[in-house]
Amino acid sequence: MAKKEEFLEDIKNGYTFKGESIILGCSKFEGETQAESFIRIPLKMLNRHGLIAGATGTGKTKTLQIIAEQLSAKGVPTLMMDIKGDLSGIAVPSDGHPKIDERHEKIGLPFIADSSPVEFLTLSAEKGLRLRATISEFGPVLFSKILGLNDTQGGIIAVVFKYCDDYDLPLLDLKDVKKVLGYITGEGKTELQEMYGSISTSSVGTIMRKIIELEQQGAEIFFGERSFDVDDLCRVDENGKGMVSILRLTDIQDKPKLFSTFMLQILAEIYATFPEEGDMEQPKLAIFIDEAHLVFDEASEALLDQIETIIKLIRSKGIGIFFITQDPTDVPDQVLGQLGLKIQHALRAFTAKDRKAIKLTAENYPLTNYYNVDQLIMELGIGEAIVTVLNEKGIPTPLVHCYLRAPQSRMDILTEQEINSILKKSQLSRKYNEVIDRESAYEILSGKMADAQDRKEIMDEQVERGRQASSRGGREKSMAEKVFNSTTTRQIGRTVARELTRGLLGVLGVRSTSRRRKSTRSWF
């Protein structure tokens, strides 16, 4: 058997599946496309996660678009991180182009323009449904990991959460956390020590600085209500197409902390709330994380461990996660080893270091008898990639040079008018763009501290009045005592003198009267 026929036989055996699948394109061998030797991805294995890698301008975003629109057509919802702002075109059909027709003729697949239902989401000032989450939903462990706290500082956060649970103080946003930290090191310090023990003021200061750092990256916009319900990511439209939720992130490229915070929160929320599904015929939700290095570059070891754990376990929830980045080494080895689908676009080698990196990249793919992978990675054209997927038994398929199909939707961005039109039709706009600022720990503790201050002022005023009254009373008493002493002395003196006089004169008077009577009787 000739090498070409042997190759085509291997492709046919490796990429023909019994269940539902999506088509990436056709194979390419010795520089020529092999029409109708379609490269497929089984839907059943798309919850085994994946990687789309390659240098800038090699077609990663269009590959992402191809997969997402076909998943939507199969009724699978997707969440896409649009950091460069070039994914919105999936909402409208392609305008077509002679080069697209030429490409599909080589592939042996008719081109049919189509669109997908789209919902725009945002973490910032971009147009879209506002995504938020409360501090309470993170929990003390996850919130501590996001801040990059050590065990001692994490223990203080655990005390904060416990204190707020015990006293019904809702932790909704960052100002709530700061208010509680300020309270338990100030007015409420004695109360806290009696119930939970003492805490280090210096550690609280460190936590405050970490929170301020997070705030400076715009996190105060993300934390709060109304919390986003992850079930809203799993909707289908009236035609049975999966909803494509596009998270617009063009203005947070320089805020990796906020981006990684959001990603970890939403993955944790999905894992915590979605039921166990086991092996499904197709994913319940696919999540595409563009510019994945933003998640990992600023992540602490604890955060990476958390992401790795979720990636391993979330598969059983029916969730597929796909990382899009320039270099596969941007993704940690622990996570990279969990990815079943690998699509590698071209890499460029300008230095000896680049060539070593490409050789290392090539070692991440299955061995092949048909390609020199090191060389092929540098020679791939735009819209081409080397591909390996997991077949329906979970076995990696043969490595293949894939000539990719064109997206059925527009390969360009929407206009402002088109975006506004989609937002007006959104069924969730009123739900998530309503501003809610209900009473939380900040307001409750502020009120409590204000009441305490009022009571203190009242007590101080009463003490002052008492002091002043005491002072006046002392002066009045002293004068009264003087008057009393003077008057009393005179009265006592007169009384004594009078009594003495009476006593003396009375006796004398009686005696005198008696003598006068005797004298009178004697005269007569």
Is the whole model's pTM more than 0.85, yes or no? no
Kind plus residue range of the DSSP H or E element containing 517: helix 441-523
pLDDT at 486 over 60: no
pLDDT at 489 over 50: no
What SS3 class is residue 52?
strand
| Assigned token pair, 488 | 């009393």
Residue 218: predicted pLDDT: 78
Distances (CA, A) of 406 to 22, 24, 45, 101, 310: 13, 9, 23, 9, 33
pLDDT at 381 over 50: yes
Give mean pLDDT, residues 240-260.
82
> pLDDT band for position 473 (50/70/90)?
low
Segment 409-447, tens digit of pLDDT: 999 999 999 999 999 999 888 888 777 766 766 677 777
Q: How many CA atoms lie within 13 A of 509 on its CB side?
A: 6
> pLDDT band for position 460 (50/70/90)?
low
Whether the CB-CB separation of 212 and 86 falls below 8 Å is answered with no
